[in-house]
Structure 1
Amino acid sequence: MTENVLILGAGYAGTVVANKLAREFRREIARGDLNVTILDKDDMNINQGGFTFLPFGLYTPEDLERPRKEVLSPRINCVFGEKGEITGVDLENRKVQVKSGDTFNYDYLVIATGSTTDISNIPGLSEDYNTFYTSMDDAFKLKEKIDNFEQGRIAISVAQMPVSCPGATVKFAVMLNDYIKFMKTEEMCKNIQISFFWPMEPIGPPEFNKVATKVFEDDNIEVNRNFKLAEVDSKNREIVSQNGDREKYDLLITTPPHKSPQPIIDSGLTDETGWIPVDKFTLQYRGPAGNHNEVYVAGDAGPASVIKSGIGAHYQSLVVSHNLVNDIHGHGTKVSYMGEVGCPYIGAMPTPFTKGQAYIPSWSYGAPPESFEPTKLGWYIYRMYYYIHWDAGLKALF
């Protein structure tokens, strides 16, 4: 009998798992002994990490998108559109329902749906919503507002945790400061204040916080910690914290709240935090729908306790792939995810006045990042990644 592996979501994690399995089981797939199917409502793969750079002209849309079938092995059964848009997941009966009404059965399931933004979670946010987080269109709309901004306070707010790639807003603030100095007149620069609102005390792990704090101080970026966004008063141009603190702004740039996709929540797969619980080492499902060894979770849909980043999704997808290979072969052995994660940091953007500097710190369970310093070489390595992403990262070649 044919064994069926079903992958929900064709983003980074889902694509890596699918390509890894297609390569490892190419003979089994050819014989009809194994079927790998991937579902997604969209047939275009977009590298969301690059949205951070779009307002500053550092990438183009062509750099950040590819048709999914160009990055997925032809051995994979790809289902997109309404036939691939998930509406319900039944772990007990091993069935997944899609918008078209079709049902997919599976022997092994990989939930790699990622997360979604939840603007409605913050009253008033939809009335003054500017972000680079959600789409290329939003990033370009924000670019236009930044280019036309001449004076006042720019408030950059991370509404609450967890969010996908929390360090993206830190990088954005640094690059925005350099961009303004390059694009605006000296008089305008004197009349523009960048204020950063962060929902926790530390900005990431200790060493990350140390470097970010120093760069913000050197760049005269005002930092407001423990500011959990509760409301946006667009009429008076104020943001309000959960503690009732009110802060004025002239341009608000928000990293909105994130949550699991609604079909995952409606299917009863999430815990009280709204995210999917797993065994922290094997990444197998352990939640309100029971313990399911045949169900794996990779990427941003996973537990609230695991930082949601592209680097984390990469390591998780490799662990899930290896464990599925062992499961299908019947070896019974498990590879452990040790919490490997990272968050690229930018210390400066290259302009006629500054040289680009970056570093990619990484850490794992119980092993915080070591001391680091952004470098010029780090900037080029980081920029280069967005090009090798398509032909190496997504294809599970490293």
Structure 2
Amino acid sequence: MPKAGKTIAVLGGGIGGVVAVHELSKRLMRRHKIVLIEKRKTHLYQPALLWSALGFQKTSDAQMPYDSFAKKRIEVINAEISHIDPENKIVKTSQGDIDFDSALIALGAEFNHEKIPGLKEFGNSFYTPEGAEKVYDAISNFSEKNIALVIPSLPFKCPAAPYEMVFLLDELLKRKKIRDNIVISFFTPELQPMPAAGSQVGKFISKFMEKKNIRYHPNHILRGARKSELIFDAGTYAYDLLIYVPPHQAPKAIRDCKLAGERGWIPVDQKTLRTNFPGIYAIGDCAEIPIAGGKFLPKAGVIAHGQAEIAAHNIILEMLSARDRESYHGFGSCFVETGWGNAAYFSGHFYHQPAPRVRLWNSNPVSYWIKHLFAKYWKWKWF
């Protein structure tokens, strides 16, 4: 008599979720059921929204349907997740309850635009397709003096994206021959750009900001926004166009369940990525992993991708009652577009002690093309 199959639920269809369901489909026998639960009807390739906000491509180019997944034995349920019960292994959704034997949680982060008074009312964010289109419209019609880009709170995903935005914006305004009349200011609570990547990367980006005459204001904590005015602990600043990174928080379904840690995110084992509950793993933006220097592992697509492979393999090993587990070693990398067809690249090991060990390659056209070609490869590979 054949053994009964198991149900493996993957919560979230972002980068981590997409990689995970394919790994599970490739390695599990057909008797097992793989379920992907995702509220969006299309996958959103988040890195491409930066290009949409600057008019380099349409927002529809960053979105891909999950239609091909059925051929790979992946059942996609388009539903909102309202609650996760890790003890009884039940996910409550807008399409009903779903029981599971193992789960991989890749729900990412949700945006809380209302966290900072006035931010949503007076600003624009490129972190959603709708927001990217509004940013593009605002930039296209801009004819005043002061543009402010603000990171209002930490953590946030795609750590390079705000810096890439001002670099590419600088290029765009120069091509339009209006850059000399415009002041670009960058405000962040960070003490340096991309602090988890180390001082070398921070100094590199700071120098590029100075070279491009972008006014950089670190250690600035935003308290509120009024029309034409930003309010920081350090004082007020005038602006004509406000572009912001939305405040991030763990999804409500996570914050309200027993998986959540003190800060709302899911604490996981640094190497195996398992939560405190057997058979349940968490990866990507919704997971929280401390690293050296009192920092946390960055929330980035490349991190989620690498974790997805390890967590999927460990789910299978746990199902087989194997003693060994695969380990995630904290590797990460990032391209930083610097404008004019160039991009810097850095990679390294974020678990390294006493500080992450990161290597930086200076800005060059090869890195730029690799980044853009990878976006096309992603679509071909998974969809």
Give the counterpart of 1:9 among 7, 12, 22.
12
Per-residue CA shift, 1:17-46, capped at 9, x if unaligned? Answer: 111111112xx21xx2x1111111222111
Residue type at the aligned position of 1:21:
L
Deviation sequence 1:166-220 (CA, Å, 0-9, x none) = 210000110000000002x3xx322200001111111122121121111111100
Counterpart mapping for 1:1-398 below 5 A: 1-25=4-28, 28-29=29-30, 32=31, 34-70=32-68, 73-80=71-78, 84-100=79-95, 102-135=96-129, 137-183=130-176, 185=177, 188-204=178-194, 205-234=198-227, 237-241=228-232, 243-285=233-275, 291-303=276-288, 305-348=296-339, 350=340, 356-364=341-349, 365-366=351-352, 367-392=356-381, 394=382
Partner letter of residue 236 of structure 2?
Answer: R
State the one-letter code of the partner of 1:96. V
Paired amino acid for 2:143: E
| 1:274-300 alpha-carbon deviations (Å, 9 max, x no partner) | 211111111111xxxxx2131100111
1:272 and 1:239 mapped to 2: Cα distance? Answer: 30
For 2:125, give the aligned amino acid.
T
SS of match in other structure, 2:286:
coil
TM-score (norm 1): 0.88
Contact 2:101 2:279 in 1 (8 A): yes
8 Å CA contact retained: 1:117, 1:134: no
Q: Using a 3 Å threshold, how does the CA distance of structure 1 residues 71 and 181 change in structure 2: closer, same or farther?
A: farther
The Cα offsets for residues 133-182 of structure 1, whole Å up to 9 and x where unpaired, read as 122x2212211111111231100001111001121000011000000000
Instruction: Give the AA of the match of 1:116.
Output: E
Structure 1 segments unaligned to the other structure (5+ residues): 286-290, 351-355
Q: CA deviation at 1:268?
A: 3.7
Question: 1:374 is paired with a residue of what secondary structure?
Answer: strand
1:281 counterpart letter in structure 2: K
Does the 8 A contact of 1:86 with 1:96 survive in 2? yes
Contact 2:343–2:364 (8 Å) recurs in 1: yes
- Secondary structure of the 1:306 match is coil
2:273, 2:193 → 1: CA distance? 27
- Partner Cα separation in structure 2 for residue 221 and residue 8 of structure 1: 40
TM-score (norm 2): 0.92
Where 1:165 maps in the other structure, the secondary structure is coil
C-alpha contact 1:88 1:263 (8 A) present in aligned 2: yes
Q: Is the 8 A contact 1:177 1:219 kept in 2?
A: yes
Report the equivalent of 1:288.
none
1:144 and 1:104 mapped to 2: Cα distance?
42
How far apart, in 2, do the equivalents of 1:339 and 1:259 lie?
A: 22
**Could you say if the C-alpha distance between residues 239 and 66 of structure 1 is closer, same or farther in structure 2, counting changes exceeding 3 Å?**
same
Query: How far apart are the structure 1 equivalents of 2:69 and 2:173?
Result: 36
CA distance in 2, matches of 1:172, 1:71: 33
Task: String of CA shifts for 1:239-294, please: whole Å, max 9, x gaps.
Answer: 122x2521111111000110111121122432221211111111111xxxxx2131
Find the counterpart in structure 1 of residue 293 from structure 2: none
Distance in 1 (alpha carbons) for counterparts of 2:213 and 2:69: 42
Give the drift of 1:359: 2.7
The number of residues matched between the two structures is 367
Q: Which residue of 2 aligns with 1:353?
A: none
Report SS of the residue matched to 1:361: strand
Percent of aligned pairs sharing the same letter = 28
Q: Does the 8 Å contact 2:167/2:337 carry over to 1?
A: yes
CA distance in 2, matches of 1:177, 1:189: 7
Structure 2's unaligned 5+ residue stretches are 290-295
* Residues 19, 73 of structure 1: 8 Å contact kept: no
How large is the Cα RMSD of the aligned pairs?
1.6
Partners of 1:8 and 1:38 within 8 A in 2: yes
Distance 1:39 1:87 in 2: 12
CA distance in 2, matches of 1:61, 1:152: 27
For residues 66 and 239 of structure 1, what CA distance do their matches in structure 2 show?
Answer: 37
The answer as to whether partners of 2:123 and 2:241 remain within 8 angstroms in 1 is: no
Q: Distance in 1 between matches of 2:65 and 2:46?
A: 14
**One-letter code of the match for 2:65?**
P
